[in-house]
Amino acid sequence: MDYEINASFRSTIGKGAARSLRRQNLVPAVVYGPSMESVTLAVPSLRLEKLLREMEGESRLVTLSIGEGAEIQTRKVLLREVQVHPFRRRFLHVDFFEAPMDRKIVVNVPIELKGDPIGVRKGGTLNLILRTLAVRCLPAEIPDRIYVDVRSLDLGGTITIAGLSSQVAHELMGEPSQALVTVVAPEGKAKEGEADRGK
């Protein structure tokens, strides 16, 4: 799916100018990157809201079209920060980061579990510890999901970042010993196991 949003240049900054934009259902924005100076923009509030629903919290490339007619500039960006008013539930500001297409970046990617763990069939509980995982890759190669096969996970079993690295094609970031998912034994069986170890 292609993600797109249009923006217009804005020449005025400050709180008064920002309030004026919001009254017009526009959101103050800025786009910046390693090969460009920051540029102040305004984006339609309704389109930003729809874009966020479409992306479902994923780190995805967005086509940002700035200007009108023959003067349109197109940039590939990531949403870096979206500020929302805590009470009025309206957008206050949004930051776009122009992704260098030839340089790897670090993004957070949702984790999705696959399979029915052995430990769950024995009465255990599947515990997802991390819902997203930091991945280092080129912007055009950002995966939709990191799939974790949990079918062989038995009672007390754990999958760590190090254990997952061999299953995925992307470079995973974070502490290798960090647990991603585990199967917790039922309370009775856990106590039995502790008793057995004490003999």
Round to whole Å and give the CA distance between 40 and 145. 32
Phi (first) and psi of residue 76, to 5 degrees: -95, 120
| pLDDT average per 10 residues of sequence, the chain (199 residues) | 88 80 91 90 94 85 87 90 85 92 91 94 94 92 91 94 88 93 79 48
Report the predicted TM-score, pTM, of the whole model to 2 decimal places.
Answer: 0.74
CATH class of the domain at 4-98? mainly beta
Q: Which CA distances in Å does 52 have to 60, 64, 136?
A: 10, 14, 22
pLDDT at 195: 42
Give domain limits for the chain: 4-98, 105-198
Round to whole Å and give the CA distance between 187 and 179. 21
Residue written as tokens 């079918």?
151
pLDDT at 19: 82
pLDDT at 194: 45
The CATH H-level superfamily of 105-198 is Ribosomal protein L25, C-terminal domain (2.170.120.20)
- For 61-74, letters b (16+ CB in 10 Å) and e give bbebebeeeeeeee
pLDDT at 64: 94
